[in-house]
Structure 1
Protein backbone atom coordinates (compact mmCIF):
# COMPACT_ATOMS: atom_id res chain seq x y z
CA UNK A 1 0.00 0.00 0.00
CA UNK A 2 1.27 3.48 -0.83
CA UNK A 3 -0.44 4.85 2.30
CA UNK A 4 -1.59 2.70 5.15
CA UNK A 5 -2.31 3.32 8.82
CA UNK A 6 -3.46 1.64 11.98
CA UNK A 7 -6.58 3.22 13.47
CA UNK A 8 -7.96 2.99 16.98
CA UNK A 9 -10.83 4.66 18.81
CA UNK A 10 -10.62 6.48 22.15
CA UNK A 11 -13.90 7.57 23.73
CA UNK A 12 -12.88 8.11 27.37
CA UNK A 13 -9.89 8.14 29.71
CA UNK A 14 -10.01 4.37 30.23
CA UNK A 15 -9.69 3.57 26.56
CA UNK A 16 -7.03 6.28 26.29
CA UNK A 17 -5.00 4.23 28.73
CA UNK A 18 -5.50 1.14 26.61
CA UNK A 19 -4.63 2.95 23.38
CA UNK A 20 -1.36 4.15 24.90
CA UNK A 21 -0.27 0.56 25.55
CA UNK A 22 -1.38 -0.33 22.02
CA UNK A 23 0.73 2.49 20.56
CA UNK A 24 3.77 1.32 22.52
CA UNK A 25 3.23 -2.27 21.40
CA UNK A 26 3.13 -1.24 17.73
CA UNK A 27 6.44 0.56 18.18
CA UNK A 28 7.94 -2.46 19.94
CA UNK A 29 7.23 -4.77 17.00
CA UNK A 30 8.69 -2.25 14.52
CA UNK A 31 5.64 -1.32 12.46
CA UNK A 32 6.22 0.73 9.32
CA UNK A 33 2.81 2.42 9.56
CA UNK A 34 1.51 5.30 11.71
CA UNK A 35 -1.25 5.13 14.31
CA UNK A 36 -4.35 7.29 13.88
CA UNK A 37 -6.50 7.86 16.97
CA UNK A 38 -10.17 8.69 16.44
CA UNK A 39 -10.92 10.70 19.58
CA UNK A 40 -14.28 11.84 20.94
CA UNK A 41 -14.62 14.85 23.22
CA UNK A 42 -14.37 12.64 26.33
CA UNK A 43 -11.17 10.94 25.18
CA UNK A 44 -8.19 10.78 27.51
CA UNK A 45 -4.40 10.37 27.22
CA UNK A 46 -4.33 12.30 23.94
CA UNK A 47 -1.18 14.28 24.79
CA UNK A 48 0.63 11.06 25.69
CA UNK A 49 -0.59 9.41 22.48
CA UNK A 50 0.59 12.38 20.42
CA UNK A 51 3.98 12.12 22.17
CA UNK A 52 4.11 8.50 20.97
CA UNK A 53 3.69 9.79 17.41
CA UNK A 54 -0.03 9.13 16.97
CA UNK A 55 -2.16 11.38 14.77
CA UNK A 56 -5.23 12.56 16.69
CA UNK A 57 -8.43 12.97 14.66
CA UNK A 58 -11.43 14.43 16.55
CA UNK A 59 -14.68 12.57 15.88
CA UNK A 60 -18.19 12.36 17.25
CA UNK A 61 -20.89 9.74 17.05
CA UNK A 62 -22.48 9.49 13.58
CA UNK A 63 -25.65 11.46 12.96
CA UNK A 64 -28.26 9.03 14.29
CA UNK A 65 -31.99 9.39 14.86
CA UNK A 66 -33.40 9.79 18.35
CA UNK A 67 -35.24 6.49 17.94
CA UNK A 68 -31.99 4.71 17.08
CA UNK A 69 -30.26 6.18 20.11
CA UNK A 70 -33.15 5.16 22.35
CA UNK A 71 -32.99 1.57 21.09
CA UNK A 72 -29.23 1.31 21.65
CA UNK A 73 -28.71 2.70 25.15
CA UNK A 74 -26.45 0.69 27.44
CA UNK A 75 -29.44 -0.39 29.54
CA UNK A 76 -31.54 -1.59 26.60
CA UNK A 77 -28.58 -3.14 24.84
CA UNK A 78 -27.54 -5.19 27.85
CA UNK A 79 -31.14 -6.13 28.67
CA UNK A 80 -31.86 -7.39 25.14
CA UNK A 81 -28.52 -9.16 24.71
CA UNK A 82 -26.98 -9.73 28.15
CA UNK A 83 -23.24 -10.31 28.37
CA UNK A 84 -23.37 -13.74 29.98
CA UNK A 85 -19.80 -14.85 29.25
CA UNK A 86 -17.97 -11.87 30.77
CA UNK A 87 -18.55 -8.36 32.09
CA UNK A 88 -18.33 -5.05 30.30
CA UNK A 89 -16.80 -2.23 32.38
CA UNK A 90 -19.11 0.59 33.42
CA UNK A 91 -17.26 3.06 31.18
CA UNK A 92 -18.44 1.14 28.09
CA UNK A 93 -21.08 3.07 26.08
CA UNK A 94 -22.51 0.94 23.22
CA UNK A 95 -23.35 4.01 21.10
CA UNK A 96 -19.67 4.99 21.07
CA UNK A 97 -18.91 1.80 19.16
CA UNK A 98 -20.42 3.31 16.02
CA UNK A 99 -17.68 5.96 16.01
CA UNK A 100 -15.51 3.28 14.40
CA UNK A 101 -17.41 3.90 11.18
CA UNK A 102 -15.77 7.35 10.99
CA UNK A 103 -12.57 5.70 9.73
CA UNK A 104 -14.24 5.41 6.31
CA UNK A 105 -14.11 9.21 6.22
CA UNK A 106 -10.32 9.33 6.58
CA UNK A 107 -8.70 10.88 3.51
CA UNK A 108 -5.28 9.96 2.16
CA UNK A 109 -5.10 6.28 3.10
CA UNK A 110 -5.38 3.36 0.71
CA UNK A 111 -5.83 0.83 3.48
CA UNK A 112 -6.31 0.95 7.24
CA UNK A 113 -6.26 -1.71 9.93
CA UNK A 114 -8.58 -0.96 12.80
CA UNK A 115 -7.43 -2.10 16.26
CA UNK A 116 -9.60 -1.78 19.35
CA UNK A 117 -7.96 0.20 22.16
CA UNK A 118 -7.99 -2.93 24.32
CA UNK A 119 -5.69 -4.85 21.98
CA UNK A 120 -1.95 -5.44 22.31
CA UNK A 121 0.34 -6.28 19.41
CA UNK A 122 2.96 -8.88 20.34
CA UNK A 123 4.43 -9.72 16.91
CA UNK A 124 4.58 -7.83 13.59
CA UNK A 125 1.20 -7.51 11.86
CA UNK A 126 2.04 -5.18 8.96
CA UNK A 127 1.12 -7.92 6.47
CA UNK A 128 -2.52 -7.10 7.29
CA UNK A 129 -2.16 -4.02 5.07
CA UNK A 130 -2.18 -6.38 2.11
CA UNK A 131 -5.55 -7.91 2.96
CA UNK A 132 -8.74 -6.72 1.21
CA UNK A 133 -11.73 -4.88 2.54
CA UNK A 134 -13.46 -6.30 4.47
CA UNK A 135 -11.25 -8.69 6.44
CA UNK A 136 -11.79 -9.66 10.08
CA UNK A 137 -11.01 -12.55 12.40
CA UNK A 138 -13.66 -14.89 13.86
CA UNK A 139 -15.28 -14.22 17.23
CA UNK A 140 -13.84 -17.39 18.75
CA UNK A 141 -13.30 -17.50 22.49
CA UNK A 142 -15.57 -20.24 23.82
CA UNK A 143 -16.39 -22.69 21.05
CA UNK A 144 -15.11 -23.52 17.58
CA UNK A 145 -18.70 -23.24 16.36
CA UNK A 146 -18.23 -19.44 16.58
CA UNK A 147 -15.88 -19.36 13.60
CA UNK A 148 -18.81 -18.18 11.47
CA UNK A 149 -19.15 -14.98 13.54
CA UNK A 150 -16.72 -12.10 13.12
CA UNK A 151 -15.14 -9.94 15.80
CA UNK A 152 -14.87 -6.23 15.03
CA UNK A 153 -11.89 -5.56 17.30
CA UNK A 154 -9.48 -6.00 14.39
CA UNK A 155 -10.41 -5.49 10.75
CA UNK A 156 -9.03 -4.28 7.42
CA UNK A 157 -10.85 -1.53 5.53
CA UNK A 158 -10.50 0.93 2.66
CA UNK A 159 -11.56 4.48 3.59
CA UNK A 160 -14.17 5.85 1.22
CA UNK A 161 -16.73 8.55 1.92
CA UNK A 162 -19.31 6.94 -0.37
CA UNK A 163 -19.02 3.75 1.64
CA UNK A 164 -19.56 5.75 4.83
CA UNK A 165 -22.73 7.34 3.41
CA UNK A 166 -24.02 3.91 2.39
CA UNK A 167 -23.27 2.61 5.88
CA UNK A 168 -25.35 5.30 7.56
CA UNK A 169 -28.31 4.53 5.26
CA UNK A 170 -28.03 0.84 6.17
CA UNK A 171 -27.43 1.50 9.86
CA UNK A 172 -30.26 3.79 10.91
CA UNK A 173 -33.34 2.04 9.59
CA UNK A 174 -36.75 2.19 11.30
CA UNK A 175 -37.03 -0.20 14.25
CA UNK A 176 -33.74 -1.90 13.43
CA UNK A 177 -31.70 -3.19 16.35
CA UNK A 178 -28.02 -4.22 16.23
CA UNK A 179 -27.54 -6.68 19.13
CA UNK A 180 -23.77 -6.23 19.31
CA UNK A 181 -23.69 -2.70 17.84
CA UNK A 182 -20.85 -2.22 15.32
CA UNK A 183 -19.95 -5.91 15.27
CA UNK A 184 -23.41 -7.07 14.21
CA UNK A 185 -23.71 -4.17 11.80
CA UNK A 186 -20.38 -4.75 10.04
CA UNK A 187 -21.05 -8.45 9.57
CA UNK A 188 -24.41 -7.56 8.03
CA UNK A 189 -22.99 -4.79 5.83
CA UNK A 190 -20.10 -6.99 4.65
CA UNK A 191 -21.75 -10.45 4.46
CA UNK A 192 -18.87 -11.86 2.38
CA UNK A 193 -16.20 -10.75 4.87
CA UNK A 194 -12.81 -12.35 4.44
CA UNK A 195 -11.69 -14.40 7.43
CA UNK A 196 -8.36 -13.48 8.98
CA UNK A 197 -6.46 -16.12 10.94
CA UNK A 198 -7.49 -16.09 14.61
CA UNK A 199 -3.88 -15.33 15.61
CA UNK A 200 -4.34 -11.74 14.38
CA UNK A 201 -7.12 -11.22 16.93
CA UNK A 202 -6.61 -13.69 19.76
CA UNK A 203 -9.40 -13.11 22.26
CA UNK A 204 -8.20 -13.40 25.83
CA UNK A 205 -10.79 -16.02 26.85
CA UNK A 206 -9.07 -18.49 24.52
CA UNK A 207 -6.41 -18.60 27.25
CA UNK A 208 -8.70 -20.65 29.52
CA UNK A 209 -11.67 -21.72 27.35
CA UNK A 210 -9.77 -23.06 24.31
CA UNK A 211 -6.22 -23.58 25.60
CA UNK A 212 -5.38 -25.96 22.75
CA UNK A 213 -5.54 -22.90 20.46
CA UNK A 214 -3.19 -20.88 22.65
CA UNK A 215 0.18 -21.19 20.90
CA UNK A 216 2.43 -18.23 21.72
CA UNK A 217 4.56 -18.89 18.62
CA UNK A 218 1.56 -18.05 16.41
CA UNK A 219 -0.20 -15.32 18.39
CA UNK A 220 0.36 -11.84 16.97
CA UNK A 221 -2.22 -9.81 18.85
CA UNK A 222 -4.02 -10.26 22.16
CA UNK A 223 -7.49 -8.74 22.47
CA UNK A 224 -8.73 -8.04 26.00
CA UNK A 225 -12.42 -8.41 25.27
CA UNK A 226 -14.73 -8.04 28.26
CA UNK A 227 -12.59 -7.27 31.36
CA UNK A 228 -9.65 -4.89 30.86
CA UNK A 229 -6.15 -5.69 32.16
CA UNK A 230 -5.79 -2.33 33.91
CA UNK A 231 -8.95 -2.78 36.03
CA UNK A 232 -8.16 -2.76 39.75
CA UNK A 233 -11.25 -4.87 40.46
CA UNK A 234 -10.59 -7.42 37.71
CA UNK A 235 -13.13 -10.24 38.28
CA UNK A 236 -11.20 -12.91 36.36
CA UNK A 237 -7.74 -12.23 37.74
CA UNK A 238 -7.39 -15.85 38.85
CA UNK A 239 -7.74 -17.04 35.24
CA UNK A 240 -6.06 -14.18 33.37
CA UNK A 241 -3.18 -13.01 35.59
CA UNK A 242 -0.47 -13.90 33.01
CA UNK A 243 -2.25 -11.77 30.38
CA UNK A 244 -2.73 -8.93 32.85
CA UNK A 245 1.01 -9.10 33.58
CA UNK A 246 1.73 -9.11 29.83
CA UNK A 247 -0.22 -5.88 29.33
CA UNK A 248 1.54 -4.14 32.25
CA UNK A 249 4.98 -5.26 31.07
CA UNK A 250 4.38 -3.72 27.65
CA UNK A 251 2.71 -0.57 28.98
CA UNK A 252 5.06 0.07 31.91
CA UNK A 253 8.39 -1.22 30.63
CA UNK A 254 8.11 -1.47 26.84
CA UNK A 255 9.24 -5.08 26.81
CA UNK A 256 7.73 -8.45 26.00
CA UNK A 257 8.20 -11.74 27.84
CA UNK A 258 9.81 -14.55 25.88
CA UNK A 259 6.51 -16.36 25.87
CA UNK A 260 3.18 -16.55 27.66
CA UNK A 261 1.89 -20.09 28.08
CA UNK A 262 -1.47 -21.17 29.43
CA UNK A 263 -1.71 -23.40 32.49
CA UNK A 264 -5.11 -24.65 31.35
CA UNK A 265 -3.86 -26.85 28.53
CA UNK A 266 -4.13 -30.63 28.81
CA UNK A 267 -0.73 -32.17 29.49
CA UNK A 268 0.82 -33.78 26.41
CA UNK A 269 0.64 -37.57 26.27
CA UNK A 270 3.89 -39.37 26.89
Structure 2
Protein backbone atom coordinates (compact mmCIF):
# COMPACT_ATOMS: atom_id res chain seq x y z
CA UNK A 1 0.00 0.00 0.00
CA UNK A 2 1.28 3.44 -0.92
CA UNK A 3 2.39 5.73 1.92
CA UNK A 4 0.23 8.53 0.43
CA UNK A 5 -3.43 7.91 -0.36
CA UNK A 6 -5.16 10.93 -1.97
CA UNK A 7 -8.96 11.08 -2.20
CA UNK A 8 -8.90 12.70 -5.64
CA UNK A 9 -6.59 13.82 -8.39
CA UNK A 10 -4.60 17.04 -8.19
CA UNK A 11 -6.22 20.01 -9.95
CA UNK A 12 -3.14 22.19 -10.16
CA UNK A 13 0.63 21.91 -10.36
CA UNK A 14 0.87 24.02 -7.19
CA UNK A 15 -0.49 23.45 -3.72
CA UNK A 16 -0.70 24.89 -0.26
CA UNK A 17 -0.13 21.97 2.10
CA UNK A 18 -0.73 21.51 5.81
CA UNK A 19 -0.37 18.51 8.14
CA UNK A 20 -3.10 17.27 10.50
CA UNK A 21 -2.45 14.38 12.88
CA UNK A 22 -5.34 14.70 15.37
CA UNK A 23 -8.75 16.31 15.84
CA UNK A 24 -7.31 19.40 17.52
CA UNK A 25 -5.06 20.32 14.62
CA UNK A 26 -8.00 19.64 12.29
CA UNK A 27 -9.75 22.58 13.99
CA UNK A 28 -6.78 24.76 13.15
CA UNK A 29 -6.66 23.51 9.57
CA UNK A 30 -10.35 24.32 9.03
CA UNK A 31 -9.71 27.98 9.88
CA UNK A 32 -6.57 27.98 7.72
CA UNK A 33 -8.47 26.59 4.74
CA UNK A 34 -11.12 29.29 5.02
CA UNK A 35 -8.47 32.00 5.25
CA UNK A 36 -6.82 30.65 2.09
CA UNK A 37 -10.15 30.59 0.25
CA UNK A 38 -10.60 34.31 0.94
CA UNK A 39 -7.30 35.12 -0.83
CA UNK A 40 -8.70 33.93 -4.20
CA UNK A 41 -5.91 31.42 -4.81
CA UNK A 42 -6.41 28.83 -7.56
CA UNK A 43 -3.75 26.50 -6.12
CA UNK A 44 -4.82 23.22 -4.56
CA UNK A 45 -5.29 23.19 -0.80
CA UNK A 46 -3.98 19.90 0.53
CA UNK A 47 -4.36 18.36 3.96
CA UNK A 48 -1.89 15.59 4.68
CA UNK A 49 -3.53 13.63 7.47
CA UNK A 50 -2.91 10.48 9.44
CA UNK A 51 -5.46 7.79 10.26
CA UNK A 52 -5.74 9.32 13.76
CA UNK A 53 -7.89 12.17 12.40
CA UNK A 54 -11.58 11.27 12.94
CA UNK A 55 -14.04 11.09 10.08
CA UNK A 56 -16.13 14.09 11.11
CA UNK A 57 -13.02 16.27 11.24
CA UNK A 58 -11.99 15.07 7.79
CA UNK A 59 -15.47 15.85 6.49
CA UNK A 60 -15.18 19.46 7.67
CA UNK A 61 -11.83 19.86 5.93
CA UNK A 62 -13.25 18.37 2.75
CA UNK A 63 -16.20 20.79 2.88
CA UNK A 64 -13.73 23.67 3.11
CA UNK A 65 -12.13 22.69 -0.17
CA UNK A 66 -9.26 20.49 0.91
CA UNK A 67 -7.79 17.70 -1.14
CA UNK A 68 -7.33 15.08 1.58
CA UNK A 69 -4.25 12.89 1.35
CA UNK A 70 -3.93 10.20 4.00
CA UNK A 71 -0.33 9.57 4.98
CA UNK A 72 1.61 7.12 7.06
CA UNK A 73 4.14 8.37 9.57
CA UNK A 74 7.72 8.04 8.42
CA UNK A 75 9.36 4.58 8.60
CA UNK A 76 11.81 5.61 11.31
CA UNK A 77 13.72 3.22 13.54
CA UNK A 78 12.76 2.25 17.09
CA UNK A 79 15.82 4.12 18.39
CA UNK A 80 14.79 7.26 16.51
CA UNK A 81 11.22 7.01 17.78
CA UNK A 82 12.37 6.59 21.37
CA UNK A 83 14.73 9.57 21.11
CA UNK A 84 11.97 11.79 19.73
CA UNK A 85 9.11 10.64 21.95
CA UNK A 86 7.17 13.40 23.68
CA UNK A 87 8.54 12.82 27.18
CA UNK A 88 12.13 12.67 25.90
CA UNK A 89 11.90 15.75 23.65
CA UNK A 90 10.06 17.91 26.15
CA UNK A 91 12.14 16.62 29.05
CA UNK A 92 15.49 17.33 27.39
CA UNK A 93 14.40 20.63 25.83
CA UNK A 94 11.76 22.23 28.03
CA UNK A 95 9.79 25.09 26.50
CA UNK A 96 10.50 28.00 28.82
CA UNK A 97 8.91 30.78 26.74
CA UNK A 98 5.50 29.22 26.16
CA UNK A 99 3.43 26.09 26.59
CA UNK A 100 2.97 23.33 24.06
CA UNK A 101 -0.63 22.03 24.12
CA UNK A 102 -1.25 18.50 25.44
CA UNK A 103 -2.18 17.22 21.96
CA UNK A 104 1.27 18.16 20.59
CA UNK A 105 3.10 14.98 19.56
CA UNK A 106 6.67 15.77 18.45
CA UNK A 107 7.25 12.57 16.47
CA UNK A 108 4.26 13.36 14.23
CA UNK A 109 5.95 16.58 13.06
CA UNK A 110 8.33 14.67 10.80
CA UNK A 111 5.41 13.48 8.65
CA UNK A 112 5.43 16.87 6.94
CA UNK A 113 8.47 15.64 5.01
CA UNK A 114 6.00 13.48 3.06
CA UNK A 115 5.12 16.58 1.02
CA UNK A 116 8.27 15.89 -1.00
CA UNK A 117 6.39 12.79 -2.25
CA UNK A 118 3.32 14.74 -3.43
CA UNK A 119 2.28 15.03 -7.08
CA UNK A 120 2.94 18.77 -7.40
CA UNK A 121 5.70 20.82 -8.98
CA UNK A 122 5.73 23.48 -6.27
CA UNK A 123 4.42 23.57 -2.74
CA UNK A 124 4.04 26.09 0.06
CA UNK A 125 3.74 24.43 3.44
CA UNK A 126 1.70 26.05 6.22
CA UNK A 127 1.35 24.73 9.76
CA UNK A 128 -2.24 24.05 10.78
CA UNK A 129 -2.01 26.79 13.43
CA UNK A 130 -1.53 29.56 10.85
CA UNK A 131 -3.92 31.98 9.14
CA UNK A 132 -3.29 33.52 5.71
CA UNK A 133 -4.46 37.13 5.87
CA UNK A 134 -3.39 38.23 2.38
CA UNK A 135 -2.50 36.47 -0.90
CA UNK A 136 0.80 34.61 -0.82
CA UNK A 137 0.74 32.84 -4.21
CA UNK A 138 3.95 34.69 -5.10
CA UNK A 139 5.75 32.19 -2.81
CA UNK A 140 5.30 29.46 -5.42
CA UNK A 141 7.86 31.30 -7.55
CA UNK A 142 10.42 31.37 -4.73
CA UNK A 143 13.22 28.78 -4.78
CA UNK A 144 13.58 25.76 -2.57
CA UNK A 145 14.11 26.21 0.35
CA UNK A 146 12.66 29.47 1.77
CA UNK A 147 11.45 30.08 5.32
CA UNK A 148 11.02 33.07 7.61
CA UNK A 149 13.19 33.62 10.69
CA UNK A 150 11.95 32.35 14.05
CA UNK A 151 11.41 35.86 15.44
CA UNK A 152 9.22 36.13 18.51
CA UNK A 153 11.32 37.68 21.28
CA UNK A 154 14.30 39.62 19.97
CA UNK A 155 16.35 40.33 16.88
CA UNK A 156 18.68 37.57 18.06
CA UNK A 157 16.06 35.12 16.81
CA UNK A 158 16.86 35.92 13.17
CA UNK A 159 19.58 33.27 12.91
CA UNK A 160 17.06 30.44 13.27
CA UNK A 161 14.33 29.57 10.77
CA UNK A 162 10.75 28.69 11.61
CA UNK A 163 9.30 25.70 9.75
CA UNK A 164 5.67 26.84 10.03
CA UNK A 165 5.83 28.35 6.52
CA UNK A 166 8.23 27.25 3.80
CA UNK A 167 8.60 26.66 0.07
CA UNK A 168 9.43 23.26 -1.41
CA UNK A 169 9.76 21.36 -4.69
CA UNK A 170 8.45 17.79 -4.32
CA UNK A 171 10.95 15.24 -5.58
CA UNK A 172 11.41 11.55 -4.65
CA UNK A 173 15.19 11.86 -4.74
CA UNK A 174 15.12 14.70 -2.22
CA UNK A 175 12.75 12.68 -0.02
CA UNK A 176 15.09 9.65 -0.09
CA UNK A 177 18.05 11.85 0.88
CA UNK A 178 16.00 13.32 3.71
CA UNK A 179 15.15 9.91 5.16
CA UNK A 180 18.79 8.85 5.05
CA UNK A 181 19.89 12.00 6.89
CA UNK A 182 16.96 12.05 9.30
CA UNK A 183 17.37 8.60 10.79
CA UNK A 184 21.14 8.24 10.69
CA UNK A 185 22.66 6.40 13.68
CA UNK A 186 22.48 8.59 16.78
CA UNK A 187 20.48 11.32 15.03
CA UNK A 188 18.65 13.69 17.37
CA UNK A 189 16.71 16.73 16.21
CA UNK A 190 16.16 19.02 19.16
CA UNK A 191 13.19 20.90 17.65
CA UNK A 192 12.09 18.01 15.42
CA UNK A 193 11.37 18.98 11.80
CA UNK A 194 12.51 22.58 12.33
CA UNK A 195 15.99 21.59 13.44
CA UNK A 196 16.20 18.94 10.73
CA UNK A 197 15.14 21.23 7.87
CA UNK A 198 17.61 23.93 8.88
CA UNK A 199 20.35 21.28 8.88
CA UNK A 200 19.23 19.78 5.56
CA UNK A 201 18.97 23.20 3.90
CA UNK A 202 21.83 25.11 5.58
CA UNK A 203 21.68 27.86 2.94
CA UNK A 204 17.94 28.40 3.37
CA UNK A 205 16.62 31.61 1.85
CA UNK A 206 14.96 34.03 4.26
CA UNK A 207 11.36 34.99 3.63
CA UNK A 208 10.19 38.38 4.89
CA UNK A 209 9.14 38.12 8.52
CA UNK A 210 5.61 39.16 7.49
CA UNK A 211 5.19 35.83 5.70
CA UNK A 212 5.23 34.09 9.09
CA UNK A 213 4.55 36.43 12.01
CA UNK A 214 4.59 34.56 15.31
CA UNK A 215 1.88 35.54 17.76
CA UNK A 216 4.26 36.46 20.59
CA UNK A 217 5.49 39.41 18.52
CA UNK A 218 2.18 41.03 19.54
CA UNK A 219 3.46 41.63 23.07
CA UNK A 220 7.24 41.14 22.88
CA UNK A 221 8.04 43.24 19.78
CA UNK A 222 4.95 45.44 19.22
CA UNK A 223 6.92 47.90 17.07
CA UNK A 224 7.35 45.09 14.51
CA UNK A 225 3.60 44.42 14.31
CA UNK A 226 1.88 45.84 11.23
CA UNK A 227 -1.57 44.53 10.32
CA UNK A 228 -1.29 46.02 6.84
CA UNK A 229 1.88 44.05 6.11
CA UNK A 230 1.21 40.71 7.81
CA UNK A 231 0.44 37.98 5.31
CA UNK A 232 0.61 34.91 7.56
CA UNK A 233 -0.14 34.87 11.29
CA UNK A 234 1.24 31.87 13.21
CA UNK A 235 -0.08 30.80 16.62
CA UNK A 236 3.11 29.23 17.94
CA UNK A 237 2.98 27.54 21.35
CA UNK A 238 -0.53 28.11 22.78
CA UNK A 239 -3.40 27.55 20.33
CA UNK A 240 -6.33 29.97 19.91
CA UNK A 241 -8.96 27.23 20.18
CA UNK A 242 -7.84 26.20 23.70
CA UNK A 243 -7.93 27.97 27.06
CA UNK A 244 -4.49 29.13 28.16
CA UNK A 245 -2.70 31.56 30.47
CA UNK A 246 -1.83 34.08 27.73
CA UNK A 247 -5.36 34.34 26.33
CA UNK A 248 -5.99 37.81 27.81
CA UNK A 249 -2.78 39.18 26.30
CA UNK A 250 -3.58 37.69 22.88
CA UNK A 251 -7.34 38.35 22.88
CA UNK A 252 -7.54 40.28 19.55
CA UNK A 253 -5.57 37.56 17.75
CA UNK A 254 -7.70 34.80 19.26
CA UNK A 255 -10.89 36.64 18.23
CA UNK A 256 -9.53 36.89 14.68
CA UNK A 257 -8.86 33.15 14.58
CA UNK A 258 -12.39 32.39 15.78
CA UNK A 259 -13.81 34.62 13.02
CA UNK A 260 -11.99 32.62 10.35
CA UNK A 261 -12.94 29.34 12.04
CA UNK A 262 -16.60 30.40 11.89
CA UNK A 263 -16.35 31.05 8.15
CA UNK A 264 -16.52 34.82 8.47
CA UNK A 265 -14.65 37.49 6.48
CA UNK A 266 -12.86 39.64 9.08
CA UNK A 267 -12.27 43.33 8.53
CA UNK A 268 -8.49 43.48 8.80
CA UNK A 269 -8.50 47.28 8.65
CA UNK A 270 -10.52 47.42 11.88
CA UNK A 271 -8.09 45.37 13.97
CA UNK A 272 -6.54 47.12 16.99
CA UNK A 273 -2.87 47.93 17.35
CA UNK A 274 -0.83 45.96 19.88
CA UNK A 275 -0.33 47.42 23.35
CA UNK A 276 2.64 49.74 23.59
TM tier, smaller: over 0.9
State the partner residue of 1:223. Answer: 234
Tell me if the contact between 2:227 and 2:268 (Cα under 8 Å) persists in the aligned partners. Answer: no
Q: 1:256 Cα deviation (Å)? A: 1.3
State the partner residue of 2:165. Answer: 154
State the partner residue of 1:90. Answer: 102
State the partner residue of 1:35. Answer: 45
What is the aligned counterpart of 1:206 among 214, 217, 229? 217
For 1:161 and 1:253, the matched residues in 2 are separated by: 36
4+ residue segments displaced more than 6 Å: none
State the partner residue of 1:268. Answer: none
Query: What secondary structure does 2:250 align onto?
Result: helix
Q: Structure 2: any 5+ residue segments left out of the alignment?
A: 1-11
Q: 1:261 Cα deviation (Å)? A: 3.2
For 1:195 and 1:261, the matched residues in 2 are separated by: 28
Tell me if the contact between 1:104 and 1:158 (Cα under 8 Å) persists in the aligned partners. Answer: yes
Tell me if the contact between 1:208 and 1:239 (Cα under 8 Å) persists in the aligned partners. Answer: yes
Q: 1:235 Cα deviation (Å)? A: 1.5
Q: 1:158 Cα deviation (Å)? A: 0.2
For 1:142 and 1:239, the matched residues in 2 are separated by: 15
Q: 1:264 Cα deviation (Å)? A: 2.1
Normalised by the size of structure 2, how large is the TM-score?
0.93
Q: Does 1:81 align with 2:81?
A: no
State the partner residue of 1:174. Answer: 185
Q: Does 1:103 align with 2:115?
A: yes
Q: 1:17 Cα deviation (Å)? A: 0.6
Change (3 A) 1:262 1:85: farther
Q: 1:247 Cα deviation (Å)? A: 0.3
Query: What secondary structure does 1:239 align onto?
Result: coil
Query: What secondary structure does 2:123 align onto?
Result: strand
Tell me if the contact between 1:136 and 1:193 (Cα under 8 Å) persists in the aligned partners. Answer: yes
Tell me if the contact between 2:154 and 2:221 (Cα under 8 Å) persists in the aligned partners. Answer: yes
Q: What is the total number of aligned residue pairs between the two structures?
A: 262
Q: 1:213 Cα deviation (Å)? A: 0.5
**Backbone CA RMSD of aligned residues:** 1.0
Query: What secondary structure does 1:36 align onto?
Result: strand
State the partner residue of 1:239. Answer: 249
Q: Does 1:118 align with 2:110?
A: no
Q: Structure 1: any 5+ residue segments left out of the alignment?
A: 266-270
State the partner residue of 2:6. Answer: none
Tell me if the contact between 1:204 and 1:223 (Cα under 8 Å) persists in the aligned partners. Answer: yes
Normalised by the size of structure 1, how large is the TM-score?
0.95
For 2:144 and 2:122, the matched residues in 1 are separated by: 8
**Deviations for 1:240-268, whole angstroms, at most 9, x for unmatched residues?**
00000000111114211233333323xxx
What is the aligned counterpart of 1:46 among 23, 42, 58? 58
For 2:172 and 2:122, the matched residues in 1 are separated by: 13
Change (3 A) 1:63 1:253: closer
What is the aligned counterpart of 1:25 among 26, 35, 42? 35
